[in-house]
Homo-oligomer: A and B are copies of this chain.
């Protein structure tokens, strides 16, 4: 068991923000400034090169916390945010930048590096969930969701495959090479985002990963546009997905 503690606390726009560490892993927990004694939790995974408080994370948290009254937590992935980079991290990032500059496909590098990070991150996410479920406002038997796109999917699919406490998940925008085998073990409801004109992930690859999920209830949202053009309304859709599956309703502000 990792030790966990809160290290900072602030509040704005109806959200309480608490920094925490679980072992060496820094995280953030966003919660309603006021609300019922207990509420569902959504764990999120950030994208490659980003960190736990990237605006994409705090923006989604705002929708879930003030729109649904949920708790939301993110931890920095290995080599990201406030965590040190290893020589292996540096080498893989240099190789990615080299391939990008040379106009070579990024997929093979992202797939293998994200797989490496996921193997480190899955036990960290499990320890984080253990610690958060020890809080009275979350509790050990409440509904828990997972939301991560890009690298958040590379970490999230093996995490959710290994973790029966997660009951609904939003994924998207990754390759099937490593993840399809894990997706075949996932049976909870999922929503999956894919960009129809993604310059890195082909339609066939994106559809193959969606198809691999064993979930009886699964939805695929495809939008025109390139890799980084995922429309903002898909965040609203994910929030409604979690409201449907974790309980509760979305107020007009979400």
Q: Taking beta carbons and an 8 Å cutoff, which residues of A are in contact with B?
A: 196, 207, 210-211, 215-224, 231, 233, 236-237, 240, 244, 249, 251-252
With A251-B252, A252-B251 already in contact, the answer to whether A218 and B210 are too (CB < 8 A) is no
Q: Separation in Å of the A197 CB from the closest CB of chain B?
A: 10
Contact of B223 with A222 in the complex, beta carbons under 8 Å? no
Alpha-carbon distance between A144 and B196 when the two chains are bound, in angstroms: 26
Apart from the given pairs A233-B240, A252-B252, 12 other A-B contacts in the complex at a CB distance below 8 Å: A196-B211, A196-B218, A210-B222, A218-B224, A219-B223, A220-B220, A220-B223, A221-B221, A221-B222, A233-B244, A237-B237, A249-B252
Contact of B224 with A217 in the complex, beta carbons under 8 Å? yes
Which chain B positions have C-beta within 8 A of A218? 196, 223-224
With A251-B252, A252-B251 already in contact, the answer to whether A224 and B215 are too (CB < 8 A) is yes
Closest A-B pairs by Cβ, 5 of them: A220-B222, A218-B224, A219-B223, A221-B221, A252-B252
For this complex, 22 residue pairs linking A to B, each with C-beta atoms less than 8 Å apart, are A196-B218, A196-B220, A207-B207, A210-B222, A216-B224, A218-B224, A219-B221, A219-B222, A219-B223, A219-B224, A219-B231, A220-B221, A220-B222, A220-B223, A221-B221, A221-B222, A222-B222, A233-B240, A233-B244, A236-B240, A251-B252, A252-B252
Alpha-carbon distance between A210 and B203 when the two chains are bound, in angstroms: 13
Alpha-carbon distance between A210 and B236 when the two chains are bound, in angstroms: 23
Q: Separation in Å of the A244 CB from the closest CB of chain B?
A: 7
